């Protein structure tokens, strides 16, 4: 099914100061997550950002926060899954009740917090997709197995550009040029 922006929300998992540099191709992962978040903000797709044990691994990268825009919620967690944190659950469920039942997940680490959050989202009935070019792990093998497990669980895979162009739907959308500038 084509992604419709009115039905989507983005969950950016743990793109934090001490974690992203430890991830394989961490800068590329963060860059693609910023493109996804910036496009989402421009197209009115709400974003939620999780921070895992920020006192130990740092806060969310400032450039990620900036890309997500002022409407994004940044919420703490200590559980690996975002669905183990009450404030995150309330935010995501509130958006789902408002009709945003499709959850696009990006971030780190793919095989721990991202995968557990995606599995929990799917179990709760969200249409769940992983933005594969905007997620990573310290080791490539862990990321690869996480993607295999997600696919086996019925979780979809998408790239950032797929999501953005599906949200746009048309070249004459007023936001087309802004979104196109993000990916060039």
Q: What is the pLDDT of residue 11?
A: 98
Cβ atoms 88, 124 nearer than 8 A:
no
Question: What residue spans define the domains of the chain?
Answer: 5-183
Mean pLDDT of 8-30: 97
Per-residue model confidence as pLDDT tens digits over 114-168? 999 999 999 999 999 999 999 999 999 999 999 999 999 999 999 999 999 999 9
0.85 exceeded by the pTM?
yes
Provide the percentage of residues in the chain whose pLDDT is more than 70. 100
Question: Could you tell me the pLDDT band of residue 70, with boundaries at 50, 70 and 90?
Answer: very high
Mean pLDDT of 76-88: 98
Mean pLDDT of 92-101: 98
110 closest CA partner among 78, 147, 73: 147
Cβ neighbors of 79 (< 8 A, separation 6 or more) are 85
Question: Could you tell me the pLDDT band of residue 2, with boundaries at 50, 70 and 90?
Answer: very high
Whether CATH 3.40.50.850 fits 5-183: yes
Other C-beta atoms closer than 10 Å to the C-beta of 162 total: 18
Alpha helix ranges (H) inside 3-46:
26-43
């Amino acid at each position: 099914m084509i992604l419709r922006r009115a039905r989507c929300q983005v969950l950016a998992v743990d793109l934090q100061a001490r974690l992203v540099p430890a991830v394989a191709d961490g800068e590329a992962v963060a860059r693609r997550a910023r493109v996804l978040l910036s496009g989402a903000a421009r197209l009115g797709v709400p974003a939620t950002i999780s921070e895992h044990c920020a006192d130990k691994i740092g806060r969310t990268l400032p450039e990620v926060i900036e890309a997500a825009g002022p409407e994004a919620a940044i919420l703490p967690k200590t559980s690996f899954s975002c669905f183990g944190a009450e404030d995150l659950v309330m935010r995501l469920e509130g958006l789902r009740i408002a009709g945003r039942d499709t959850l696009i997940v990006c971030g780190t680490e793919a095989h721990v917090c991202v995968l557990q959050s995606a599995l929990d989202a799917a179990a709760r009935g969200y249409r769940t997709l992983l933005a594969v070019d905007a997620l990573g792990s310290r080791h490539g093998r862990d990321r690869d197995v996480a993607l295999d497990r997600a696919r086996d669980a019925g979780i979809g895979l998408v790239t950032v550009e797929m999501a953005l162009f599906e949200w746009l739907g048309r070249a004459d959308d007023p936001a087309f040029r802004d979104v196109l500038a993000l990916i060039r």
